[in-house]
Amino acid sequence: MNNQSTPEGRSRASRLLRELVALSRRFGDDPEFARGGGGNSSVKIDGVLYIKPSGTSLAALTSESVIALDIAPLMELLEAPPDRKVAGGTDEVMQVALAARVGVPDDRRPSVELLFHALLPEPFVLHTHPTTVNAVACAQSGAEIAEKLFGSTVLWIPYTDPGLPLARVIRDARRRYTDSTRTAAPRAMFLQNHGLIVTGDSMAEIEATSARLIATIKAHLADLPAISWGDVERLGAGEARAALHAVAPALRALLATGNRLKVVSFDDSPVAVSMTCSELGRELAQCGPLTPDQIVYAGSFPVVVKAVEGATPEQLIDALTSAIAERAATEAGVPPVVIVPGLGLFAVGDSCAQADTVRQVFLDAAGVTIEAHRLGGVRPLADAERQFIELWEAEAYRKGVAAGGPVAGRARGLVVVVTGAAQGFGHAIAADLVAEGGHVVLADINAELAKREAQALASVSGSGRAVGVALDVTDDASVAACFDEVVRRYGGLDLLVSNAGILRAGGVTTQPIAEFDAVTRVNYRGFFLCVRHAAPILARQHRARPDYWGDIVEINSKSGLTGSSRNSAYAGAKFGGIGLTQSFALELVGDGIKVNAICPGNFLDGPLWADPENGLFVQYLREGKVPGARTIEDVRRFYEAKVPMGRGCTPADVLEALYYVVAQRYETGQAIPVTGGQVMLK
């Protein structure tokens, strides 16, 4: 027999590990089979079990990340006398597993289900939680349905607490089957209220078995009548928007546990509406959790806000506050799912990725509940089964590893909207905020560029950490739509960076009026409209948590502090921006909102100045603004010479000021020059 001490054995082991990774990623990337990092996979090679670590998603598995365990001590524990107690079904299992590690140990844990992976004789084992299979596994008559559809090709495993108890039940069920039929046990198992196990000699075999199971169940469901939901009552568009803008920001604040508010993801998709906007749907949504994964990621029971018909946003928040306080007083605590009848559901997390996992897991569970109802009735976990998972340290560990550690950085946890963020100063600001731990909306009239840049940032920092949104700051409807998207995706915001701006140089007697109006509309009206829509969101968060303060920062200019020859449109709009900043600061301080302006010097290397066709160097040279200048370099040297520090302003200079005004708690209405000494306040 090959072993891993020979070249042939090492080659075989390497090939099998590559196949395990391919199998894991194939199913880990399929939302039918895996959500929230759930599921597990393994391969056995020459007496060693290679298994996915707890908290690592199937889709992220690599050959290097698997944990290798000697199978012999695992089987010894599995075959120990039944009267040998194992605390919680987990503690001793994990002790034995950690002692059985092959190679250099680290602080990672193998999956708590490692025992049945060691037990099953086939090389490959894949354990997933397919929504289609779980429709049968979570149905009251699931065992009978599985028997009818699959006969002896699937083994039904009744619900059992995870760990050693489940492994022993699987072992005993397989032995009974083999003893009664004199044939090998099936290579597919339905775990009641849990999921699916498929074993095989190869990835291709597991894929074929899984596809056959799913197709058979879907064909059976297709022959069943659809659910009649009865009356589905939804709020009208105007009422729904008002309710959304009331509930989501309040939730961010009410459920905050540290010095950062939560991220709240809103969903009113067809499944969410079915489960939240009809009496039957809400009954099914509250029937109890169906699987361990649902408890771990989405909580056992959602909070349902019982608001009276026609309630104002303020009354809705009062109802929300009462419902959360009532649930917080129970042992279950506050779950991360909140249902508002007539509106939809809200999923809550410490990050966008975490909130999205909550939302997806809950919606998957909702889909399973609906299909199980169609199959004759739902079988939620019994109280004792549910409570075991709620208190099980191993699942808390898995959730913690999957969530990752706290994000570091000066913007950690903040939700930020940066206008004019597709390029230039705005993009540099947005990119740094993402790198410093923020969730950043890149809002720009060039929507396609903003989306591409956001996607590039998110590919490095993580899902949901950056998103591009279309925004014309001069158009009220566009601004409203932008902030609607922010509330739906994140629940609210903590910081508005009003950066969008344009500059058209020209003398007072020669500049076209259209250019003057365009500069004023973007730089002055645009700031006004963005604050008009951001301020109510920030205010709702402050009302729900009075110690919380939000921020609005206008990226102004040194031209807002001192006049600028042949640049009156821009300077006038920026002077006006300072006036707005001071006025907004006075008006909004009672709502817990600080409003400040940063006045950078010339960003000589940015597109505003350096664009070869319409940058300010070109404009100023054309307008004759710099006496004696004959080239663009002449214009640049002229402006650098104006700065005592001898250089133009950079995004890093502005960012230092930005982080300062957000961090400080005792300044509002200020205009902070960042000019290298070119403009000094008196």
Residues with active-site annotation: 570
β-pairing verdict for 593-600 and 550-555? parallel
Helix (H, G, I), strand (E, B) or coil at 412: coil
Side chain identity, residue 415: V
**Nearest partner of 577 among 505, 662, 473, 656, judged by Cα:** 473
Q: On the CB side of 280, how many CA atoms lie within 13 Å of its CA? A: 14
Beta bridge partner(s), residue 326: none
Q: Is there a contact between 210 and 176 (Cβ–Cβ < 8 Å)?
A: no
Interacting residues of 170 by C-beta distance below 8 A, sequence separation 6+: 116, 119, 120, 157, 189, 197
Helix (H, G, I), strand (E, B) or coil at 439: strand
**Nearest partner of 276 among 233, 225, 227, 226, judged by Cα:** 233
Q: What CA–CA distance (Å, rounded) separates 569 from 573?
A: 6
Q: Which residue has the tokens 């969101």?
A: 537
Q: What CA–CA distance (Å, rounded) separates 554 from 598?
A: 6
β-pairing verdict for 495-498 and 48-51? unpaired
Q: Where are the alpha helices (DSSP H) in 255-312?
A: 270-276, 279-285, 292-298
The DSSP element (H or E) to which 599 belongs, if any, is strand 593-600
Interacting residues of 318 by C-beta distance below 8 A, sequence separation 6+: none
First to last CA, the chain: 86
Q: Is there a contact between 418 and 499 (Cβ–Cβ < 8 Å)?
A: yes
Q: Where are the alpha helices (DSSP H) in 329-374?
A: 352-374
**Nearest partner of 678 among 573, 596, 603, judged by Cα:** 603
- Count the neighbouring beta carbons within 10 Å of the beta carbon of residue 654: 25
